[in-house]
Amino acid sequence: MPNLIVVDSLKTWPLKIPDVPIIAARDYLTDPQYSELRNLKVFNLCRSYRYQSTGYYVSLLATARGHKAFPSIMTIQDMKTVSIVRIVAEDLEDVMERNLRPVKTSKFTLSIYFGRNLAKRYEELSSRLFRLFQAPLLRAEFICDDGVWKVDSVGPIAANEIPESHQDFVVDSASRFFAQSRLPRLRRATTQYDLAILFDPTAERPPSNRRALGRFAQAAKRLRLGAELIKREDFGRLAEFDALFIRETTAVNHHTYRFARRAAAEGLVVIDDPESIAKCSNKVYVAELMARHDIPTPRTMIVHRDNKDRIHAEIGLPCILKEPDSSFSQGVFRTEEQDHLDQAIERLLEKSDLVIAQEYVPTPYDWRICVLDNEPLFACRYYMADGHWQVVRMVGHREQWGNVEPVPLDLVPRTVLSTGVRAARLIGDGFYGVDVKQFGKKAYLMEINDNPNVDAGYDDLLLGDDLYDRIMRVFLTRIQKKKNGAAPGTP
């Protein structure tokens, strides 16, 4: 993907960056040849990104033309809002503490040129900020409050504000950046589009294990998608990609939700989309939604302080209590006696104004129906852990899981499959894992997860490579529809 630098005026631009064309903003905005180019990376070095300024329109029109703008419109908007800057920069607390501890004043300014600073001791902080806010020339202001450093503001540096003594360093930083950025582009030369797969290498319970992530990447390659694994510190790089696949456990008050929001705002195809994360993350919402649309569930009660005393009468004992945002069997409790119920509900209501109480329906396994793009993708039986009522059991600090058994869709009981698909369609058209219990001839919805497990060696035993190909094909189809505005064929 060719690089292009856009500046306010060639006459006043003080730097010469080798091997990268530099044009005036007015030419980029008005010359038809630039609007007709495809697959262009536009580095916007205009002096201002304020609303409706020339710099603002360069990034705005770059997005409209399908070019990759740096900074993107979303980055520009984020840099203007102090609260968003501080939320995004929360991940920098450790590196701020290490890098800024020797600073004796209560305020500090850092100039970041293509991810670098003149002082090597600020290299890590500069690189991390650049990855969060991908503007080529950045100024970050920090304040120290009670011994704790915080980011106060982030904004662009105008070319005429670069000290003459810094200019050689800026050119060197830019040259290094463009030289390095060519390498992955060469690897992607035969790909049509770029897919980011967000993962956490330190997660104890990731939704996809390492082998599965590798198989996703291989499937993407077969469809000429360039897949790259990214981590939470790559937030600022989202504009480089055409799609985002979140393979981390999601939550609303979490960086995964910020990734989904930013990706959707940037126009990327994103799974899990932010709306699905918000809906599936809260079991109170799901319970209300299922009741409204007559999806069968075990007897369920939304509990608050005014009705907590009616749980025994309406649900009975034993019963299941669930925190609204519980996942992976955590935050889910079985209560068998009234005293235990009273104590547990008090603890839960201290954390949330509403919780879920549900009838206990014992079964040897739960059905997991995975739904993608409003259609069933695969199904598994998740067996309860040995001697336990859930699929995972803690034995000391060790997890003990029940078996996973993939089942062909045509062998899944019709009521189970239809319950799973109907429930998922009420959430959206993303990728969902719907847990269903079969009790006799009836099927009961238990919960809907927005980023279901796809683990190599377990969930893919039946479909093999075809499972990964189907998921990647949905990404390709959606990207092409966004780019072309028409239903495409596969390559």
Collapsed DSSP state (helix, strand, coil) of residue 248: coil
Cis peptide before 318 (omega within 30 of 0): yes
φ/ψ (deg, to 5) at 244: -130, 130
Count the helices and strands in the chain (H runs, E runs).
16, 22
Give the ranges where 243-282 is alpha helix by DSSP (H). 255-265, 274-280
Distance CA 363, CA 388 (A): 11
Residues 6+ apart with CB under 8 A from 265: 74
Residue pair 297/340 in contact by the 8 Å Cβ criterion: no
Mean pLDDT computed over every residue of the chain: 88
φ/ψ (deg, to 5) at 249: -65, 125
Confidence (pLDDT) at 390: 87
Task: Give this prediction's pTM.
Answer: 0.71
Closest CA to 243 of 278, 300, 187, 191: 191
Residue pair 243/266 in contact by the 8 Å Cβ criterion: no
Confidence (pLDDT) at 190: 60
Residue pair 290/299 in contact by the 8 Å Cβ criterion: no
For the segment 277-319, what is each residue's pLDDT rounded down to a tens digit? 989 988 888 988 999 999 999 999 999 999 999 999 999 999 9
Distance CA 39, CA 79 (A): 26
First-to-last alpha carbon distance for the chain, in angstroms, is 20
pLDDT band, very low/low/confident/very high, at 490 (cuts 50, 70, 90): very low
Residue-range domain boundaries for the chain: 3-183, 188-274
Residues 6+ apart with CB under 8 A from 440: none
Collapsed DSSP state (helix, strand, coil) of residue 382: strand
Collapsed DSSP state (helix, strand, coil) of residue 475: helix
pLDDT band, very low/low/confident/very high, at 225 (cuts 50, 70, 90): very high
DSSP annotation of 116: B
Confidence (pLDDT) at 21: 92
Query: 288-314 burial, b for 16+ CB within 10 Å, e for fewer?
Result: eebeeeebbbbebbbbeeeebeebeee
**pLDDT above 60 for 328:** no
Collapsed DSSP state (helix, strand, coil) of residue 209: coil
Confidence (pLDDT) at 184: 38
Helix axes 73-80, 54-64, angle to 10 degrees: 140
Cis peptide before 71 (omega within 30 of 0): yes
The amino acid at residue 191 is T
Selecting from 1.10.357.10, 3.90.1150.10, 3.30.1360.70, 3.40.50.2300, what CATH number does the domain 188-274 have? 3.40.50.2300
Cis peptide before 31 (omega within 30 of 0): no
Confidence (pLDDT) at 77: 80
Collapsed DSSP state (helix, strand, coil) of residue 106: coil
**pLDDT above 60 for 182:** no
For the segment 75-128, what is each residue's pLDDT rounded down to a tens digit? 888 888 777 787 777 778 889 989 998 898 999 999 999 999 999 999 999 998
Count CB atoms within 10 A of the CB of residue 10: 11
